[in-house]
Amino acid sequence: MKQSLLIIVNLIYLTGYCQYPFEELPQPVYEEFNNWTETKQQENYTITIDNFFETESLTIQLTSYTDDVDQESSIRIFRGKTQIQKLSEDMFFSTLNIFEPIRITDFNADNLKDIKLLIPYMGNGIAALNVRVIYLIQNKNKGFSKISYDDMMDGNREERDFNKDGIFETITMKLDHYENNNYWTFNIFEFTELGLTNANEKNNYPIMTQYLYKKNFKVSNKISHSKMKTYALEKPKDYNWQK
């Protein structure tokens, strides 16, 4: 009897009942690359993807510089051997946090490849979930718009297509406190020509799940949805958009 019950529990888990509501929706298919190389003398971290621009390669170079006064980071983008962009980024790149693969897909359904980078902050405890999310959304002129923000996640949280129009939305997570309990709050943002735009109202979000010392995917019934809306974000934390 105990063995049968265990089998049923495992089947429920494997068939997707232990999911957040958005995890039932369509998700992107990524190409993933993780062949980062490091130039220690210059604190550069470089990755090259062959034939990204049809017959030309894409190279991304992450560089950080710091002294007693300033800290500066940049993202350089090369088409073939020609640098086409240099974008600033408020995140320090180091040997410790450059290990996630670069993920490539078309997030906004314009038939151009886009890029996603995850850079962990390398904290402890719950702070270990803190990451910098960086999107490089390709424009028609083959340049990129940069979208970046702080988030909390364990590994990569896939984007989802909420209205099934082929354009994916990104979901952010933060920890909030309400009446002696802590909750994970999930907001939705869509990719537009002006960066990220909040899409909560279109999809009846945000939602909140109670923070427990075990996995909990259930939207809380201890908070009214009108109260959940007061925890909505207009933009993700430390949001930055550059064209």
The secondary structure of residue 155, as a DSSP letter, is S
Report pLDDT for 113: 97
**pLDDT tens per residue across span 69-122:** 567 899 999 999 999 999 999 999 999 999 999 999 999 999 999 999 999 999
Alpha carbon 12 to its chain centroid, in Å, reads: 27
pLDDT for residue 19 is more than 80: yes
pLDDT of residue 15 exceeding 60: no
Residue 6 has pLDDT above 50, yes or no: no
Residue 8, pLDDT > 90, answer no
Contact 57, 49 (CB under 8 A): yes
Residues 114-166 have pLDDT tens digits of 999 999 999 999 999 999 999 999 998 879 999 999 999 999 999 999 999 99
For the sheet with 56-66, list strands across it: 37-39, 44-53, 56-66, 71-79, 82-88
Specify the DSSP class assigned to residue 172.
E
Asked whether 222 and 228 are in contact (CB, 8 A), the reply is no
* pLDDT tens-digit series, residues 168-211: 999 999 999 999 999 999 999 999 999 999 999 999 999 999 99
Answer for the pair 29, 103: CB distance below 8 angstroms, yes or no.
no
Read off the pLDDT band of 14 (50, 70, 90): very low
State the residue for tokens 């086409």.
Answer: 84
The mean pLDDT value for 25-37 works out to 97
How many whole angstroms separate alpha carbon 143 and alpha carbon 121? 27
Position 17 confidence tier, pLDDT thresholds 50, 70, 90: low
Question: How far apart are the C-alpha atoms of 149 and 236, rounded to whole Å?
Answer: 6
**pLDDT score for 65:** 83
Q: In this model, does residue 2 exceed pLDDT 60?
A: no
**How far, in Å, are 9, 72, 104, 140, 167 from residue 101 at the CA level?**
33, 23, 10, 25, 22
